[in-house]
Structure 1
């Protein structure tokens, strides 16, 4: 296990992707999204995903240079065809088109199809917050969650994220999957050869398991039982049906080796211009008052401080930007193999 400088890892990601014909601007977006996830303590969505991205680019399942088609429908709606590009690239370009529309009309709804895994949904919330926008961001994913009462994966982990800007302190960033845990954490556990809690997933027989490899053959359980199942279904409708993307078992996993078919993942963004509702200073001031009152709430025994969503990420980011990012031995080895394959140097 080693500790790595964030800028060195970003540079490495850019070199890997540009070596595979991704243009430098797009490569920088992917690098920023992946490394930010690691900085924020969400390594399951960080640089550990680079080897599989690279492999799928090589196979042609991920389009290194997509022709992203963005069409404006009415005054506030964008439909986007990502041409099987890297998910971060497709989503970032769509947001850049949507933000000016939201500033003009107050809202912008963006439906994206023919995309791929786009990393942590929180990344797009942070982009919106920098523009004083509130945002709801959703994406569907390959089948992972069974319908309530079933034992076969049908719906994706289907995260939904919310972002609300706060002046002078960490933004409120709520990023949660409909599953009890992100599938990436089970993938990471399988890679590292460690067990998982038995309430995370079931095996193909429908029984709980603490073996991540068996869990990956079965299904991840929804968070909150039937409520998580309902949330996953709602995100599937927004991200898959409404956008014209694939849904449920018709989405191809980037970890699936037996196909060259595109994943056709869908994303949905709703941008809201706060200034069209309240002056930003008023919105932020009242929000800060509420957050302060939340943090001052009486605490249960053993709790030192109450955090609001977004604080932990911001603290981790600040700390790791100085101390560096820790990568597991397994991830290090995969990245070193990738570097050798592309005749690049992995950061020391």
Structure 2
């Protein structure tokens, strides 16, 4: 199990620092009973109770997918297992696309996390393997562009400048983008092409008319992007906001000028819709068939309930939580699916 912070909450900084290097977790055997001897189930909004009447859930859950959603899913799983210690949850940070293609859509995972919607090709792969799924939005993220702390020539960029830096036939040096910038090579660190962050950045910044450069250090591990930029004055990188929020002293985040002035990445600007075009929804996808099993259904309900938990999602992990109204709509939709399969 992950270690709790001294205040009793989940330590985002400790988790994000370690999980970036680990990439996979198996959570099991952690129980927490309430004072009345129950398993701590809330029973609200149609979730977190064992409808079998046994009072004890058990079983296995495998979760794959997005490295961006990974910290949130791990925190949720950690808290779920305090209530349901006989549910074993295995999480792997495979990238959104890697999770869909190699695990979820071939029947080897009950959930796949994603930092962009499932693609038509992935939908077809799931259909070919008789895998039906249900989409759940769990938070909103702000893709964050970072530079070295010794970079003293830029603190705000436009999408067009980012396009020049990251397109296949684009700029080679900083001076190619702006003649006032150093005539030094742009050293890039970013998400691998199996990552939903890669897909989203591609769509939001490069669009259909340009390909992402292959001249960069590609990885699924945010800590490697951080380290690369941290060690190179002329480096640039991008990853989810939560990892930046846990490492604000290590690198500098660039503001984005999308036509209305420079806007820095933050929970507030992402929630307000001002941080454009790099704020994005985050998802988890359960298999519909797996929701026939009570422990899987309960975890899906719990994940949705926690998506509106400001302390967990915003303060401990670093994403924009769902509103209570949006959370309830997601929960109602999930319960309809569960009713169909159970």
State the TM-score bracket (shorter-chain normalisation). under 0.3
Which structure carries more helix by proportion? 1
Q: TM-score, normalised by structure 2?
A: 0.24
